[in-house]
Amino acid sequence: MEDRFASGSKGSWAGRLWLAAGGLFLMAVVSLGIAQGPVPGGAGPGGAGPRQGPPPSPPTAGAHLEIMDGSSASYRVTEQFVGINFPNDAIGTSTTVAGTLVIAPDGSIPPGSKLTIDLRNLKSDQDQRDGFIKNRTLETDKYPLAEFVPTKITGLPVMIPTQGQTGFELTGNMTIHGVTKEVTFQGIATFGRDSTVAGRAKTSFTFATFGLTKPSIGRLMSVDDKIDLEIVFKFKRS
């Protein structure tokens, strides 16, 4: 009887060990499955990690772009004052920029695209300079706007993206002071997931290109012939 009792005790003890081991194994498997399983909302394992935003829209063939608030146009001219041994860059900016840029599916620019800059709102760091440029150089009472009619764009992919960045050249007819000349802007554009296209573009020309009178005020000794015109733009795609 003692042998049977001893044998039975050993069997019960071993059984309990196997049962406990099996339970631990089952808990480990279940825990592993939970940890590796999908989590709602795009979170990583165990609920960690940031939620992912919506995927970007696919590229499009062509685009219709409307200029937004926050765009501006600036001129930059190097000038030299009497009694000062180093040149100074005169910079005047207008934040009144409007217009539309349409790019056809084949990459061409159809008629109807135009950007305008209100020159009456040009502002630099000197009121005297601003007065001369508006009244004598640009004659804004007669010619209040600068107009740019784009005719050709190069550098954009065939399918215009909705994210990333690219360089481009935009050629067109610029009208300033009643004179129209062809100019080419070189720039860089950044495409946003929020359907915006932002960047900057610059071109250069001389006073003589548009029949402009160089500023001559106060202690100003000389003004370079070259004018840099830069447009900081933000478009909304529609």
Separation CA 88–CA 98 (nearest Å): 30
Residue 30 tokens, joined: 């279940």
Token pair 């202690």 is found at 219
Confidence of residue 201 (pLDDT cuts 50, 70, 90): very high
CATH code where residue 117 lies = 2.40.128.110
pLDDT tens figures, 21-67 = 444 444 444 444 434 444 444 444 555 555 666 676 788 889 999 99
User: In terms of domains, do 196 and 101 share one?
Assistant: yes
Structural domain total, the chain: 2
Has residue 164 been placed in a domain? yes
Mark residue 164 as left, alpha or beta (left: phi above 0; alpha: psi -120 to 50; beta: remaining). Answer: left
Comparing 95-109, 119-133, 204-218, the range with the smallest average pLDDT is 204-218
Residue 82's pLDDT is 64
Residue 18's pLDDT is 42
User: In terms of domains, do 19 and 105 share one?
Assistant: no
